[in-house]
Structure 1
């Protein structure tokens, strides 16, 4: 219980001061003139002024509030290095015991783990959140038990007058070797070297005055056999890497673990680069002018990434009608250059309505067969001539074509349909969804009017036409691919005949499949990483798939289930506990994927240091002590006094209280003031009357 005198003025204080001054002046004047009653009149004025000032005796019942001490314990990944976990656990136990034994002190403990999405140690953010409901006049001190490597130290969480102390884990003789990937593009052009910038650096005692050394740097692409080169430590180096396939390329760099270093978690780096083609080089050979030739040209020229070379044979060599060649073509057909010297420069060769008329000798068509077997792609769009003796099937190309003509042309209207197998093939799967047409009979696509009758003997028939004859057949030959479209009527879709159809989408998919684009592979095992989560997709033409084997970075094998999500598509998921390179295997297919960032933020700087937190510690008057120097001494200090020393850390004594009840007693109530003023005025009048 405490009491104090306070004033609750009835009028502004300035008015009371003015009235008091007037009372003093009048009292002096009365005294100077010898008026006998001036003391009584002056006393009445003072009583009146006292009543206006409102004196009150206030008594408060209070309760002492405890001092709050905040202890932030760093539980991030970098705290697992060396002996830091044991040091931290022992220091937590010591502080908890000492603070629990202190009367009037409450301890709040905050454990901080790794931030999500590789944000590192968000220790200061956690401290700010914890102090949001702590009154500043109760905060006695804050203790941070950490290696000092935090990633939000630019925030200032503590109020003035509350010291922030750092108890630093680790030792003074730590060192670590780190492989840092400084620059890596997201995309790179196939066949062209891309330079990746690396830096192998030593941190800690090994970096001070140590002579430069050479280490072995290993490089592996897509988990294949790595090759090694000697690189210097402490110098920036550029490593040229050439991507060999489109899609995701996972590149892993690593250096061997050195004796005595803190960790090997930062001795490797992963980078995932998408391989893209600079430009698609397409050779289009039209055997004769027809409406579909313009459609092919417009489709290919509409894509800025396609370099198109287009030749149309306007007149066969045996036809001599006297028309000058200059009026039939802009340039002569460079058959030797295209089919002998530069054939391997093309990504795709299209024969549109081509027939044997002596323009291309047999040796050139044999070169096309070798081109496909070496990895090239050929698309044959067959016209009516494909069913005759002039058919390109009767050339060396016939040995690699997936279907043979029956010498019959089906001149009848039909609607192309995707086969059951085509519903699972990426070229035609979901193709109907790309067409907005729908006639009264519910047919999704417009009709074609002619088709060459074929008998398929290899490959995959993904579309059928008239009389269920193969319309689009795909096949693999050697390292290359070949497609046979048994009709030259695709242009009807482009013109919107009978409602049209997805001609552009079909031909785009077809061309990209032949270019071996990963998203259109019919047998593919694809893994996509989002942080530590992996999404797995298996595409196949089969109705079922075998077991999926996952190999973690430490070599552990696991079997994962996949669930069919669509025709020819099976999906699954996995969350990796370890960052690094994962390998997936199923039915002879294999792929690799890297989980986590190229260099986890927690292991960028591993040497324990107070550098990040030092500005905040200095601003609050706190101190820094190492855990491995022994126990810490705690000392009570008054506000405004030093809060740390060479071997001790201070706790500010706040002495905060909480008011439970409040009692106020007026010392000069109005009735008492009125009696006093009246009595004093009467006494003054009587005194002056007697004197007369």
Structure 2
């Protein structure tokens, strides 16, 4: 119970001040005239003015409130390595026992995990949230049990109401090895080297090491082994092997005694793009569709086209002198022998043997395919004759042999059952200008079809008259070939009967021949979105089996994909953490990095509170190393140092809650009136006697 005097004037303070001034003036006149009762008059004025001021006694009934100590327990990824979880649990148990032994003191415990995404340890955010939930006047201390590796120091509260103490986990002999990859671009041009900066960095009490092993694997393939020095930057030039996403994994072996292997790997994902697609178009003779091929290829700014066309075959006799046909000779030898490997795609449009291109040149193109090149044949009626290009050395790599029969009648190209699953023709019917009816795509007809017998290894993805093969694809050696058994695809581009998707078909064919990953027949890839991955499996087979997901920590999860369209299976899967995941089934394999393979938590793993030293010192708190023992808890006055040898301090706040308030006047109004009257009468009587 506590009390205090309060004033609640019955009249405005201005009036009270005026009456007091009048009273002082009257007393001055009384003293000047020598009235002996002026003292009694003064006392009467004081009583009357005091009564009008209405003094009261306010009494409060207070309940004492306990002091609060806030403990933030760091359970982020870096706190789960080595024996830090045991150190944390022991420190918390000791702190709970110390606070329990103190009278009128409570402990509030808040646990902190990894931040969303790759935010690291948001220790200050956790402290701010914990403080916002407690009355500031009751907070006697704050304790952080952590390794000191936080990533949100600017989010620290601007004012801390009590000493901040840090109980630091870790040991003096801790050391760790970290692999760092810098200067990794998101995109790179195929054929141009990309320079990455690698560094293997030892932290803490690391043993003396001059060089370590380094392995580099691309798209989950067999790793290549190297040796690089420690604590030095190494410039590494890399040529991307293919277009699309290239996933490169760098790793160093785990050494005895290091804290964790989570930062011994680094993953770089670079999207390979082609600067320009170099295409050689070889036209056998002028025809209605020749310009269509040229216009399609020239309309794409990323295509560098060289058009070789035979305008005047040798059998043409018109009497024109040879020296008047052209100003310069066409570089046939240079194109077909010396620089043929520089082309990404060679297209033969209605070409037949006429002796212009010797067999040696065509044989060289066959070798070009075997070594990884791509050839597309657009076959006209000449493909079925004795002068067919199939009868040349190039026929050894072509996917279909002519039967000498040519159909000259209208037909609508159809996608085969295999074509519904093949990435080149999958969903091609969606590009039709008219809806599909009774299984027939709504695009225009063609009017010539060369009958061919496909090779045993060829994939027939489109059919024509009587379900005869129309578009055949095959792999030969390291290269790829395609045969279109008709020269009327140009009707689609001209819009005949509505036209059709010639441009889309040509684009897909070119990308398939360029071995773009998104058009591989057997492919497994992942589209990440945060920690959610869309797993996509494309196959020409009916059943692909389950997919095994290998987590960053080595554990495995087996999932089953659901068919969403012919040849395509998908699944949305939520990953439990960031890092490098390896996915594999019976035939394919891929890797994907969700966030960095070595998260932010593992950039610095050696315990240390240097980052927040100034913040802690500003509250008179300090850092206690748990390896040196568990500190006791003491009470210290506000403003005094709250850290010492083997102890940490909290400041009792003596907080209370007012349970009841009572207000009573010091002197009743009637008593003040009687007292003032007696004083006035006394002054009058005394002055009257004199």
Q: Same fold (TM over 0.5)?
A: yes
Question: 1-side partners of 2:671 and 2:301: how far apart?
Answer: 101
State the Cα distance separating 1:669 from its structure 2 match.
Answer: 6.1
TM-score using structure 2 length: 0.91
**Alignment partner, residue 134 of structure 1:** 134
Q: Is the 8 A contact 1:202 1:233 kept in 2?
A: yes
Q: How does 1:652-667 map to 2 (within 5 A)?
A: 652-667=651-666
Change (3 A) 1:578 1:326: farther
Distance 1:509 1:326, change over 3 A: farther
Structure 1: runs of 5+ lacking an equivalent: none
Match of 2:481 in 1: 482
Q: Is the 8 A contact 1:76 1:121 kept in 2?
A: yes
Q: 1:321 to 1:95 in 2, by over 3 A?
A: same
User: Does the 8 A contact of 2:546 with 2:585 survive in 1?
Assistant: yes
Aligned partners of 2:677, 2:286: CA distance in 1, in Å?
A: 128
What is residue 175 of structure 1 aligned with on the other side?
175
Question: Secondary structure of 2:117's partner?
Answer: helix
Q: Which residue of 1 aligns with 2:411?
A: 414
Measured after TM superposition, the shift of residue 109 of structure 1 is: 0.6
Contact 1:453 1:470 in 2 (8 A): no
Match 1:273 to one of 270, 273, 278: 270
TM-score (norm 1): 0.91
Distance 1:556 1:679, change over 3 A: closer
How far the C-alpha of 1:545 sits from its partner, in A, is 1.8
For residues 547-626 of structure 1, what are the structure 2 equivalents within 5 Å?
A: 547-551=546-550, 559-572=558-571, 582-626=581-625
CA contact (8 A) 1:198 1:237 kept: yes
Q: CA deviation at 1:595?
A: 4.8
Matching of residue 499 in structure 1 with residue 498 in structure 2: yes
After the TM superposition, which residues 40-79 of structure 1 pair with which residues of structure 2 at under 5 Å, given as runs? Answer: 41-79=41-79
SS in 2 for 1:125: helix
SS in 1 for 2:285: coil
1:404 aligns with 2:401: yes
Instruction: Find out whether 1:234 has 2:257 as its counterpart.
Output: no
CA contact (8 A) 1:451 1:465 kept: no
Shift of residue 439, structure 1, vs aligned partner: 9.0
CA distance in 1: counterparts of 2:42 and 2:431, whole angstroms: 105
Tell me the residue number matched to 1:463. Answer: 462
Mark the CA change 1:562 to 1:89 in structure 2 (over 3 Å): closer, same or farther. Answer: same
- Residue 34 of structure 1 and its aligned partner are, at CA, apart by 3.1
Determine the structure 1 residue equivalent to 2:331: 334
8 A contact 1:170–1:608 mirrored in 2: yes
2: CA distance, partners of 1:483 / 1:434:
21
Matched, 1:82 2:82: yes
8 Å CA contact retained: 1:448, 1:490 = no
Structure 2: distance between partners of 1:660 and 1:390: 110
In structure 2, what is the Cα distance between the partners aligned to 1:372 and 1:23? 121
Query: Which position in structure 1 is the counterpart of 2:290?
Result: 293
The answer to whether the 8 Å contact 1:362/1:396 transfers is: yes
| Aligned counterpart, 2:447 | 450
Shift of 1:411: 3.1
Indicate if the aligned counterparts of 1:386 and 1:452 stay in contact, CA closer than 8 A: no
Larger displacement relative to structure 2 (262-271 or 675-684)? 675-684
Structure 2: unaligned runs, 5 residues or longer: none
1:117 counterpart SS class:
coil
The 5 A counterparts of 1:68-467 are: 68-157=68-157, 159-206=159-206, 213-323=210-320, 332-438=329-435, 444-458=441-455, 459-467=458-466
Shift in CA distance, 476/229, structure 1 to aligned 2, threshold 3 Å: closer
CA contact (8 A) 1:200 1:235 kept: yes
Q: Tell me by how many angstroms 1:674 deviates.
A: 6.0
Judging changes above 3 Å, is the alpha-carbon distance between structure 1 residues 648 and 602 closer, same or farther for their aligned structure 2 residues? same
Give distance in 2, aligned partners of 1:335 and 1:19.
122
Number of the residue aligned with 1:513: 512
User: Could you say what secondary structure the match of 1:620 adopts?
Assistant: coil
Q: CA deviation at 1:287?
A: 2.1
- Verify the 8 A CA contact 1:60 1:660 in the aligned structure 2: yes
Stretch deviating more after TM superposition (327-336 or 655-664): 327-336
* Residue aligning to 2:6: 6
Measured in 2, the distance between the counterparts of 1:652 and 1:396 equals 94
Shift in Å at residue 559 of structure 1? 4.2
Instruction: Provide closer, same or farther for how the CA distance between residues 326 and 511 of structure 1 changes in structure 2, counting only shifts above 3 A.
Output: farther
Q: Secondary structure at the match of 1:256?
A: coil
Q: By how many angstroms is 1:223 displaced? A: 3.6
Q: 1:30 to 1:591 in 2, by over 3 A?
A: same
Q: Could you report, residue by residue, the CA deviation over 1:186-214 in whole angstroms, capped at 9, with x for unpaired residues?
A: 233334332211222222234xxx87723
After superposing the two structures, state which structure 1 stretch, 396-405 or 500-509, moved more: 396-405
**What is the alpha-carbon distance in structure 1 between the residues aligned to residue 672 and residue 319 of structure 2?**
138
Match of 1:628 in 2: 627
Is the Cα–Cα contact under 8 Å of residues 163 and 643 in structure 1 kept in the other structure?
Answer: yes
SS in structure 2 opposite 1:110?
strand
For residues 300 and 27 of structure 2, the distance between their equivalents in structure 1, rounded to whole angstroms, comes to: 107
Seen in structure 2, the aligned counterparts of structure 1 residues 485 and 611 have a Cα distance that, compared at 3 Å, is same
Q: Describe the SS at the equivalent of 1:338.
A: helix
- Using the TM superposition, give the Cα deviation of residue 529 of structure 1 relative to its aligned residue in structure 2, in angstroms: 4.5
- Retained in 2: the 8 A contact 1:416–1:445? no
CA deviations 1:261-288 (Å, max 9, x no partner) are 3333322322222333332111111223
Q: What's the CA shift string for 1:544-564, capped at 9, x where partnerless?
A: 223444555676666432222
Following the alignment from structure 1 to structure 2, what is the Cα–Cα distance between the partners of residues 353 and 604?
61
Q: Deviations over 1:40-72 (max 9, x none)?
A: 554454344324433221122221111110111
In 1, Cα distance between equivalents of 2:79 and 2:438? 70
For the structure 1 residues 25 and 288, does the alpha-carbon distance in structure 2 shift closer, same or farther, using more than 3 Å as the test? farther
Shift of 1:378: 0.8
Deviations 1:9-36 (A, max 9, x none): 4555466445434432332233212346
CA distance in structure 2 between the partners assigned to 1:411 and 1:330 by the alignment: 40
TM-fit CA distance, 1:419: 1.9
| Residues in 1 aligned to 2:340 and 2:37: alpha-carbon distance in whole angstroms | 132
Range 325-334 or range 580-589, more displaced: 325-334
Q: Report the CA distance between 1:246 and its aligned residue.
A: 2.6
Q: What is residue 472 of structure 2 aligned with on the other side?
A: 473
**Aligned Cα root-mean-square deviation (Å):** 3.0
